């Protein structure tokens, strides 16, 4: 049972609601070159910075529960931190510990996966994002599991690689594939037939999320499971050929199947096999997991659904307990901001488009599906367009704003939150002009929300979950801009930069200090929200940015 939070004696709140806006992927760049946020025309953000209390928050590395400060933040851990009010060890850190300690390999799920193939003489398949981006997965985790499986007597291993080019350099696939092929050759020399079996770009196959584009998952299913698709003798040939033919960056490369000299796929997934999906992050793991696990499945025709021993790296949905078998337990996030808001009997609204809807609901609520209180909460999802983001950089921010304005003016809610995905989703394309436009669209919509908040006497708190649009060019080791064909080389990954915390309170009465606390992380947002709603934050929450 949650404790009842006391009302703050130093701040009673305002007559209107508190509105939290998360500008996904918008941070403060360190260099003018490549900073699409600084390059954008943002009169509203400029005005907020010039006239309102503001500070910068950490949104990467240890500030959001990742192993080191060299690790990029991401939307999942960012919204976990914003909603939880404290920092929990996150996916990569938990998996690192589990592999290093051997806990993973002594767990029941791993034993079942390995025992199944050793008993049957069948194949162990690893499927997941193939890079060291450390946002969804890490190649070192794959290597650690593969080596352990070989040591434990597994004789046949097949790896299905989803090319990144999003959390790492956009055309870096071969930097992972070629050393990995050497690693597999060593395994084969030791008696384990280990090979890459299929692959494709992460935004082309398999890794859809929020039911936005099930055709991606179907393409992945046909590639990995059925072994259908264009054949190549090895992954290097596939990547080089497809890249030369299409000019696509890694995340957008077409699917490919590795076949033997007789044109037979080397790694179809068959009855009796074991499959490990080695992504630790949940949002882009749920749909392919459903395709493997669900008896009643209507999203596409699977054709052949093999009976396999399936395991995810982690439990991707704690409420629905998906998958049924997982290798590492996720962080147990409790006592979230959303729970306390409901405990206080405050009414709330959460809104975004499909691409980030789960972040202001599922991740914000500590990786829990559904509402905390059906009577007190309203969630609104705006369906995303299924088009490349650089072709429509405004995305659905106007529709999100329309919904928020209706909620603000209705008088129904005490606390409203939304996510504008543009800075992140368009930033991931690496297209500077489109990203700049996306940021400008967010600024335009922010101005509409600011006016609505002013009209009802509320408070607006603006922040971000991590940086991206602020760092659009790759740099060399000496700090200079990397060039490609005479132009700056696009960066598609998140940044390590701090993010904004901007407080617009048109009814300010001197009841808190105008100078916000510096040096905090985005986990401080939860305590800040509770304070701005007129309540003291829980004692174990990270401190608020405002103070008496």
Any domain includes 11:
no
Phi, psi of 483 (to 5 degrees): -110, 150
Tens-level pLDDT at each residue, the chain (548 residues): 799 999 999 998 999 999 999 999 999 999 999 999 999 999 999 999 999 999 999 999 999 998 888 888 889 899 999 999 999 988 888 999 999 999 999 999 999 999 999 999 999 999 999 999 998 999 999 999 999 999 999 999 999 999 999 999 999 999 999 999 999 999 999 999 999 999 999 999 999 987 889 999 999 999 999 999 999 999 999 999 999 999 999 999 999 999 999 999 999 999 999 999 999 988 899 999 999 999 999 999 999 999 999 999 998 876 578 899 999 987 789 999 999 999 999 999 999 999 999 999 999 999 888 999 999 999 999 999 999 999 999 999 999 999 999 999 999 999 999 999 999 999 999 999 999 999 999 999 999 999 999 999 999 999 999 999 999 998 887 888 989 889 999 998 899 999 999 999 999 999 999 999 999 999 999 999 999 999 999 999 999 999 99
Q: Assess whether 265 and 170 both reside in one domain.
A: yes
Q: Assess whether 129 and 250 both reside in one domain.
A: yes
Residues paired with residue 276 on neighbouring β-strands, in sequence order: 126, 311
Going by their DSSP bridges, the two strands 499-504 and 459-463 should be labelled as antiparallel
**How does pLDDT run across 448-506, given as a tens digit for each residue?**
999 999 999 999 999 999 999 999 998 887 888 989 889 999 998 899 999 999 999 99
Any domain includes 4:
no
CA Rg value for the chain: 24
Q: Identify the three-state secondary structure at position 403.
A: helix
Q: Within 13 Å, how many C-alpha atoms sit on residue 384's CB side?
A: 26
As for how many domains the chain has, the answer is 2
Last residue of a domain, one of 328, 358, 391: 328
Q: Identify the three-state secondary structure at position 68.
A: coil
Which residue is it, tokens 């760092």? 471
Last residue of a domain, one of 277, 304, 328: 328
Strands in 377-382's sheet, in edge-to-edge order, are 54-57, 499-504, 459-463, 18-23, 415-420, 348-353, 377-382
Question: In whole angstroms, what is the distance from residue 333 CA to residue 11 CA?
Answer: 28
Burial class from Cβ neighbours inside 10 Å (0-12, 13-18, 19+) for residue 119 reads exposed
Note whether 68 and 537 are within 8 A (CB): no
Q: Is the peptide bond before 3 cis (omega within 30 degrees of 0)?
A: no
Last residue of a domain, one of 328, 363, 380: 328
Phi, psi of 138 (to 5 degrees): -145, 135
Any domain includes 448:
yes
Note whether 430 and 477 are within 8 A (CB): no
Question: In whole angstroms, what is the distance from residue 544 CA to residue 524 CA?
Answer: 5
Any domain includes 541:
no
- Would you state the pLDDT for residue 209? 85
Helix 214-224 and helix 286-293, axial crossing angle in degrees, nearest 10: 60
Any domain includes 542:
no
Q: Residue 348 corresponds to which tokens in the numbers above? A: 């709330």
Residues paired with residue 179 on neighbouring β-strands, in sequence order: none
Any domain includes 7:
no
Smallest CA-to-CA distance from 270 within 94, 460, 120, 104 is with 120
- pTM score, two decimals? 0.78
- Would you state the pLDDT for residue 321? 80
Note whether 411 and 458 are within 8 A (CB): no
Which residue is it, tokens 């698709």? 229
Active-site annotation holds for 75: yes
Instruction: Output the domain CATH number for residue 99.
Output: 3.40.1450.10
Question: In whole angstroms, what is the distance from residue 233 CA to residue 56 CA?
Answer: 50
Question: In whole angstroms, what is the distance from residue 276 CA to residue 127 CA?
Answer: 6
**Which is catalytic among the residues 75, 98, 131, 172?**
75
Q: Assess whether 396 and 289 both reside in one domain.
A: no
Q: Assess whether 344 and 484 both reside in one domain.
A: yes
Q: Assess whether 302 and 211 both reside in one domain.
A: yes
Q: Assess whether 306 and 436 both reside in one domain.
A: no
Q: Assess whether 323 and 344 both reside in one domain.
A: no
Domain residues for the domain of 424 are: 18-90+332-532
**Torsion angle of C-alpha atoms 447, 379, 92, 71, degrees rounded to 10:** 0
Note whether 275 and 125 are within 8 A (CB): yes
Q: What is the DSSP string of 232-246?
A: ESSHHHHHHHHHHHH
Q: Please list the alpha-helical segments (H only) found in 103-172.
A: 103-106, 108-120, 139-151
Q: What is the DSSP string of 243-268?
A: HHHH---GGGPPPEEEB-TTS-BS--
Question: In whole angstroms, what is the distance from residue 299 CA to residue 238 CA?
Answer: 29
Q: Assess whether 161 and 173 both reside in one domain.
A: yes
**How does pLDDT run across 8-65, given as a tens digit for each residue?**
999 989 999 999 999 999 999 999 999 999 999 999 999 999 999 999 999 999 999 9
Question: In whole angstroms, what is the distance from residue 287 CA to residue 284 CA?
Answer: 7
Phi, psi of 256 (to 5 degrees): -145, 155
Q: Assess whether 367 and 400 both reside in one domain.
A: yes
Any domain includes 538:
no
Q: Assess whether 86 and 106 both reside in one domain.
A: no
Q: Within 13 Å, how many C-alpha atoms sit on residue 274's CB side?
A: 27
Q: Assess whether 268 and 380 both reside in one domain.
A: no
Q: Assess whether 84 and 110 both reside in one domain.
A: no
- Torsion 303-142-25-407 (CA) sign: positive
Q: Is the peptide bond before 42 cis (omega within 30 degrees of 0)?
A: no
Quick one: DSSP state of residue 156? E
Residue 514: CB atoms within 10 A of its CB come to 12
- Would you state the pLDDT for residue 318? 64
Note whether 267 and 182 are within 8 A (CB): no
Any domain includes 8:
no
Note whether 544 and 527 are within 8 A (CB): yes
Residues paired with residue 502 on neighbouring β-strands, in sequence order: 54, 462
Instruction: Output the domain CATH number for residue 364.
Output: 3.40.720.10
Element spanning 140, H or E: helix 139-151
Question: In whole angstroms, what is the distance from residue 75 CA to residue 202 CA?
Answer: 17
């Amino acid at each position: 049972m949650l404790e009842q939070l006391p009302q703050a004696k130093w701040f009673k709140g305002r007559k209107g609601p508190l509105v939290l806006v998360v500008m996904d992927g918008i941070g403060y760049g360190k260099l003018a070159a490549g900073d699409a946020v600084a390059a954008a025309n943002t009169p509203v953000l400029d005005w907020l910075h010039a006239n309102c209390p503001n500070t910068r928050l950490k949104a990467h590395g240890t500030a959001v529960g990742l192993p080191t400060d060299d690790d990029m933040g991401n939307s999942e851990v960012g919204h976990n931190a914003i909603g939880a009010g404290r920092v929990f060890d996150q996916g990569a850190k938990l998996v690192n510990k589990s592999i290093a300690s051997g806990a993973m390999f002594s767990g029941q799920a791993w034993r079942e996966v390995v025992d199944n193939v050793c008993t049957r003489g069948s194949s162990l398949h690893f499927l997941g994002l193939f890079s060291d981006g450390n946002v969804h997965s890490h190649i070192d985790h794959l290597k650690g599991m593969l080596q352990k499986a070989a040591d434990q007597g597994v004789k046949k291993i097949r790896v299905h690689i989803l090319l990144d080019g999003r959390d790492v350099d956009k055309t870096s696939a071969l930097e992972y594939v070629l050393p990995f092929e050497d690693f597999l050759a060593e395994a084969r020399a030791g008696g384990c037939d280990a090979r890459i079996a299929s692959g494709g770009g992460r935004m082309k196959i398999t890794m859809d999320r929020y039911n936005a584009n099930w055709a991606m998952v179907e393409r992945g299913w046909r590639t990995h499971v059925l072994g259908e698709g264009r054949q190549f003798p090895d992954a290097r040939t596939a990547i080089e050929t497809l890249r030369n033919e299409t000019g696509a960056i890694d995340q957008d490369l077409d699917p490919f199947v590795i076949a033997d000299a007789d044109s037979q796929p080397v790694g179809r997934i068959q009855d009796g096999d074991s499959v490990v999906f080695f992504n630790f992050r949940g949002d882009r793991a749920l749909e392919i997991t459903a395709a493997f696990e669900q008896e009643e499945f209507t999203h596409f025709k699977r054709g052949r659904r093999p009976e396999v021993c399936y395991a995810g790296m982690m439990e991707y949905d704690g409420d629905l307990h998906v998958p049924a078998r997982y290798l590492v337990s996720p962080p147990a996030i409790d006592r979230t901001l959303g729970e306390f808001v409901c405990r206080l009997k405050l009414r709330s609204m959460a809104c975004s488009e499909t691409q980030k809807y789960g972040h202001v609901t599922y991740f914000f609520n500590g990786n829990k599906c559904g509402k905390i209180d059906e009577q007190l909460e309203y969630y609104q999802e705006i369906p995303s367009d299924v088009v490349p983001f650089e072709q429509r950089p405004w995305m659905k921010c106007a529709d999100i704003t329309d919904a928020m304005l209706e909620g603000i003016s209705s008088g129904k809610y005490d606390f409203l939150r939304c996510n504008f995905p543009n800075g992140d989703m368009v930033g991931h394309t690496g297209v500077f002009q489109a990203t700049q436009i996306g940021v400008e669209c967010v600024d335009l919509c922010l101005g509409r929300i600011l006016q609505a908040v002013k009209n009802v006497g509320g408070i607006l708190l603006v922040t971000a979950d991590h940086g991206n649009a602020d760092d659009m060019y790759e740099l060399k080791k000496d700090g200079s801009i990397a060039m490609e064909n005479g132009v700056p080389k696009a960066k598609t990954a998140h940044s390590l930069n701090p993010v904004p915390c901007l407080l617009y309170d048109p009814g300010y009465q001197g009841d808190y200090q105008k100078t916000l606390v510096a040096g905090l992380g985005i986990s401080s947002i939860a305590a800040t929200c509770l304070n701005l709603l007129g309540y003291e934050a829980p004692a174990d929450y990270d401190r608020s940015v405002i103070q008496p």
